[in-house]
Amino acid sequence: MFYSIRHVTRFRYSAPISESIMEVRIQPRTEGLQHCLDFRLTTTPRARILDYRGEQGNKVHHFDVPNRHAQLTINAHSLVELTPSPEPPTALPTSAWEELDALTATDEYWDTLMPSHFASPTDLLRKLAHELNIQRRGDPLTVLRELNTGLHNSIDYSPKNTNVDSPIDDALRVRQGVCQDFAHIMITLVRALGIPCRYVSGYLFQQAGHREQRDRSTESATHAWVEAMLPGLGWVGFDPTNDMFAGERHIRVAVGRDYADVPPTRGIFRGGAESELSVTVKVSLSDSLPTGYEATPKEEEWLPVAPVADGYEHGQQEPLPQQQQPQQQQQTKPFTLCLIIPQSTSGIGKQRTRFTKLRDELLNVEGGLMQSGG
């Protein structure tokens, strides 16, 4: 089957800004049964877009808009072919625990076993683990199946109770959250069992009116789920938000330790303006190769972003704020951005110099208290 994906992000500024530098991670991956057949990325104002292959094979595009502008629009068009895969078996042999320990005896999976920025144990998480009886028993696959269902039943999906950069305790305290919260909570619990687990950002195709699809996640937004490494199966995707295996409707874009590694967009701009962010995602299914793309979504289809009351909203920042687009919600928080650009690439020297200057000014403005996005 083929999926046509439109992902459009628009930043509007209350006054013209003089420069904007952005990283984008929204190109679907090509591996296994998924193939990105076409990917087009454009910006308004126009910019020269460069790319590199980042951690875990994620494709990262980056650009600089050095001129004054009061609005920035990022249009991404993807065409993906996805071959359905068979669902995992009901269970694994009980010896799978020993096989798993042998598999993780080296440091190959170290990053996906250790706590990370958004996936670290807390007292509330340990309480939930006890409540759901999360421990080594039976076989690894059975435990993860039960955990996937347990999180779905224990936590309500609510896009207004947490932010993308909220710690997992915010969701655990009220038992409500969005797809990032479900993913981060499951990742932390799975790693505690000695099972490598990673965060996946991407898209979930949702067919309106389909009785068999009871997805809780938002249709006009990106999605997040997890993948766990299991003996004999490799990386297996679990979607605790919707209590399902990641399958033919899940389109993978990027993988990392947690959300901090794979935000769809991340950047900084020069100027003292306030910012308003809108985003829309549309995934269309076709049984054959589409002959063309649909028109750009209409203005009324844009999904407005709720403001963040954490002191880091654009209107409350110093002149070089960050721009960042997460799954489901589109919030912001400052960070130190580092672009890895090959020295030998022609014409990039000026962009590297401009970014370095912006970064240094940003650190001076914020008194050296900038936080890393990863």
Q: Which one of 220, 247, 274 terminates a domain?
A: 247
Which range, of 27-41, 90-104, 131-145, 155-169, averages the lowest pLDDT? Answer: 155-169
Could you tell me which residues are beta bridge partners of residue 45?
A: none
Return the DSSP state at 353: H
Please report whether residue 252 resides in a domain. no
pLDDT digits (tens, 9 = 90+) for 49-72: 999 999 999 999 999 999 999 999
Q: Which residue has the tokens 């007292």?
A: 123
Query: Is residue 152 located within the same domain as residue 217?
Result: yes
The rounded Cα 79 to chain-centroid distance in angstroms is 19
Please report whether residue 87 resides in a domain. no
Q: Determine how β-strand 69-82 pairs with β-strand 59-65.
A: unpaired
Please report whether residue 242 resides in a domain. yes
Query: Is residue 238 located within the same domain as residue 100?
Result: yes
State the residue range of the domain holding 227.
96-247
* CATH number, position 191: 3.10.620.30
Query: Is residue 158 located within the same domain as residue 227?
Result: yes
Query: Is residue 267 located within the same domain as residue 328?
Result: yes
Q: Distance between CA atoms of 343 and 347, rounded to whole angstroms?
A: 10
Closest by alpha carbon to 241, among 170, 149, 160?
149
First-to-final CA distance of the chain: 35
Closest by alpha carbon to 237, among 176, 189, 285, 186?
186
Query: Is residue 64 located within the same domain as residue 110?
Result: no
Q: Which one of 216, 247, 278 terminates a domain?
A: 247
Query: Is residue 74 located within the same domain as residue 107?
Result: no
Query: Is residue 66 located within the same domain as residue 103?
Result: no
Query: Is residue 164 located within the same domain as residue 238?
Result: yes
Quick check: 16 and 67 in contact, CB under 8 A? Answer: no
Q: What is the mean pLDDT of the chain?
A: 82
Please report whether residue 286 resides in a domain. yes
Q: Determine how β-strand 176-177 pairs with β-strand 156-157.
A: parallel
Which range, of 30-34, 240-244, 356-360, 368-372, averages the lowest pLDDT? Answer: 368-372
Query: Is residue 230 located within the same domain as residue 310?
Result: no
Return the DSSP state at 31: B
* CATH number, position 17: 2.60.40.2250
Query: Is residue 243 located within the same domain as residue 117?
Result: yes
Query: Is residue 63 located within the same domain as residue 129?
Result: no
Q: Distance between CA atoms of 243 and 237, rounded to whole angstroms?
A: 11
Q: Where are the beta strands (DSSP E) in the chain?
A: 2-17, 19-24, 34-44, 50-53, 59-65, 69-82, 156-157, 176-177, 197-204, 223-230, 234-239, 244-245, 250-256, 265-270, 275-286, 303-304, 322-325
Q: Indicate the pTM of the whole model.
A: 0.80
pLDDT digits (tens, 9 = 90+) for 33-51: 999 999 999 999 999 999 9
What is the secondary structure of 197-217 as a DSSP string? EEEEEEEE---TT-TT----S
Please report whether residue 238 resides in a domain. yes
The token duo for 56 is 């875990």
Q: Which one of 187, 213, 247 terminates a domain?
A: 247
Please report whether residue 214 resides in a domain. yes
Q: What is the mean pLDDT of residues 201-225?
A: 82
Q: What is the mean pLDDT of residues 333-358?
A: 42
